[in-house]
Structure 1
Amino acid sequence: MNADDNSIGLSRRKMLAGLGAIGVASAGAGLGTTAYFSDTETFQDNSLTAGTLDMSVTAEIVAADDYWTGQGVVGLSETADGDIVTGIQVDDVKPGDWAIICFDIEVGDNPGYVQVRTENFTETGGANPGPEQDVEGDDDNDADLGEFLLTTVWQDYDDASGDKTGLSTLDPVFNNASNSLSINYEPSNVGGVVDSDAHYTNAREADGILNQGYLIRDNNGDLLPINDVGNEGVYSFCLLLEVPFQVGNVIQGDTLGFDLVFETEQVRHNDDPFNNSAPVNTTPS
C-alpha cells in the first residue's frame, strides 16, 4: 500500500463504526419528523334545560244581586298559583240570589291543555224548619239545594254590563245536559240571545259533567291549547250561580259544597291529554 492509499484509507473497523454512527443519527432524525395525518374539531358548552309549564287561575266575583253586593262579595278575587285557596263561601242564600264568578286561566311558558274537575261534591238537608216540612213532609229532610241551584257555564262576560246582561253565550256542553228538574228554571235578564230550548244546568248536573274531568275545547269541539299563538296564554269562562224565585221553601236550611280543580298538561307529543282524567299539575281553588 503506497502513501496515497494510506492518506484516504479506512480500516474495516473504522468503517463499521462510522456507518453505525450514521445509522443512529438517521434513526434519531426519523423520530423527530414522522407523524400521522390528524385534525381536531370541538363542540363546547353543550347544555340541555327542561322546559316549564306553569298555570295560575284567578277567580273573581264580577256581579251579584243586591244582597250579595251589599255583603261586599263583588270584586272579591283570589288567585290559585301553587297553593290551595278558599273559594266562595256564602250563607243565608234565598230564592232570587245570584252571582257571576269569572275564571281567568293563564298557562305560562308553553302551550297546555286544561281540564276542570269537581271533587268532594256534598249536600245535606241541614236545618228543617216548619215551612220546609210543609213542602217535604214532617219525616223528610232531603238535600235539595243541588237540584234547584242553577249552575251554568258561560263562554264570556261583558264586564261593562255589571249584571247578568253581560252573559251572552252558554257553554254548549253544559247546555246539552239532561234535565232533572220538574220545571225548566232559567235565569232572568241574561244578555245575548239564547236558544229557547236551552237547558240551564243545575249543580248536580254540572257536577255530573265535571267530576270526570271536562277538557276545555273551542267552539268547534276541538281541544283548545292555551298559550299558543292564537289565544296568548289566557282563557276565561264564567259561572252563574242562581236560586230562581220559583224554588220556594223546599231548600230551606240545605247546604251544598264542592272543590273546583284546574289541571294542565303540555300540548306537545300529547295526543291523549289526561289519559282518562289522570290528574297532572293540579291547581285547586
Structure 2
Amino acid sequence: MTDGNDTNDDGLRFTRRSLLAGLGTVGVASVGAGLGTTALFSDEELFEDNELRAGALNMRVTVDNVAHSTPIVRDNTTITPSDTADGQEVTISVADLKPGDWLILEWNPEVIANPGYVRITSVDEDYSNVEGGTPESESETASPGDLGDAILSTVWQSWDNLNSSRQYLGGLDATTDLNDSGLSGYETPDMDGVTGGGAHYTTLNEAHSVYESGVLLRDASTGEPLVIGANSDAAWFYQLLELPREVGNEIQGDEVTFTLRFDAEQVRNNPTPFDGA
C-alpha cells in the first residue's frame, strides 16, 4: 500500500489513516456491546438429516385381445380380458387357428416414476416355428413348419375401439410393411400379404427378423424416440395377427412360439437411448 490515495474496485477512495481509524471505531463498538450484562450472544443454524436418494424407473406392460374374427378365437386365447407383466412373465397362447381367423392385441407399455424410452425385442433364442402332426391331408412333414410364413403380423398406431372390426385399424407401422407404403388404414391383403394400396404386410417370420435386433418406440409425427410416463403421453399400439383364407392344409398342427421383451431406459441424461454407453 502506498502513502497516496488508493482506489478499490467500487471507486471509493481511502487514505491509510482513515482506514485505520475506521477499524479502531469498530473495535470500540464491539467492546461497548458487552458492558453491563453477563449474557452471551449465540446463534445456531442447522441443516439436518440431509439425504441423497437415487431415482427409480419402473415399467409395466398390459396386453389385451381387443378384437377377433370369431368368439372361438377369443375363447382360445389365454389373456381374457387382459394381463399385465410387471416383474413377471405373461404368456399369450392362441390355439386352433384356422384360415380366415384373425385377432388384434392391444399393447400398453407404461413407465412409472421417471419418463423413459421403450424398446421391443423379439427374442431370437425363444422363437420357434415347428411342424405339427401329420394328418392325412398334409403332405409336408419336414421342419420348420409353415405357420410362421403363413400368418401375417402387422403393427398399427391406432384402432377405433368403438367398433370390433380390423377395418378400423389406422397407421400401418413401417416396421411391418415391406413396401413402406405409409398405408393410413387397414386393407385386406392377398395370400402373400399384398394390399390394393401397395402395402406388403410382414409374415410372423419376417416381423421377427425385424424385431429381433430391437425396435425403439418413436413418435409417429416427428420420428424422435417416444417419451413415455411422467405426464407424457401413454403409449398404445396394436398388433394384428391374421391367417389368410387362401392358406392350405400345410399349416395343420404347426405351432409358432415367440417372446417379446420390453426394455425401458430413463430419458434424463440419455440423448441416445439403448446405444450401450
TM-score tier (shorter) = 0.7 to 0.9
SS of residue matched to 2:63:
strand
Cα deviation digits, residues 133-190 of structure 1 (max 9, x gap): 0xx4xx6454111111101111111110112122111112222469xxx953258xxx
Cα deviation digits, residues 170-222 of structure 1 (max 9, x gap): 112222469xxx953258xxxxxxx8111111101111111111110112321
Alignment of 1:185 onto 2:193: yes
SS of residue matched to 2:235:
strand
* Structure 2 partner of 1:26: none
Which structure 2 residues correspond to residues 1-285 of structure 1 after superposition, within 5 A? 42-69=46-73, 71=75, 73=77, 75-87=80-92, 89-119=93-123, 120-133=126-139, 136=140, 140=142, 142-176=144-178, 184-185=192-193, 196-219=197-220, 220-231=222-233, 234-275=234-275
2:76/2:95 contact within 8 Å kept: no
Q: Going by fraction, where is helix more abundant, 1 or 2?
A: 1
For 1:257, give the aligned amino acid: T
Give, in angstroms, the shift of residue 50 of structure 1: 1.4
Partners of 1:83 and 1:49 lie apart in 2 by 26
Structure 1: any 5+ residue segments left out of the alignment?
Answer: 1-37, 188-194, 279-285
Give, in angstroms, the shift of residue 126 of structure 1: 1.4
Q: Percent identity, aligned pairs only?
A: 40
| Structure showing greater Rg | 1
Give, in angstroms, the shift of residue 255 of structure 1: 0.9
TM-score (norm 2): 0.73
Aligned residue pair count: 224
TM-score (norm 1): 0.71
Partners of 1:183 and 1:92 lie apart in 2 by 19
Give, in angstroms, the shift of residue 229 of structure 1: 4.3
For 2:110, give the aligned amino acid: E
2:175/2:207 contact within 8 Å kept: no
* Structure 2 partner of 1:191: none
For 2:87, give the aligned amino acid: G
2:65/2:74 contact within 8 Å kept: no
2:178/2:199 contact within 8 Å kept: yes
1:186/1:244 contact within 8 Å kept: no
Give, in angstroms, the shift of residue 104 of structure 1: 0.8
Cα deviation digits, residues 99-145 of structure 1 (max 9, x gap): 10101111111110001111211011111223220xx4xx6454111
1:128/1:141 contact within 8 Å kept: no
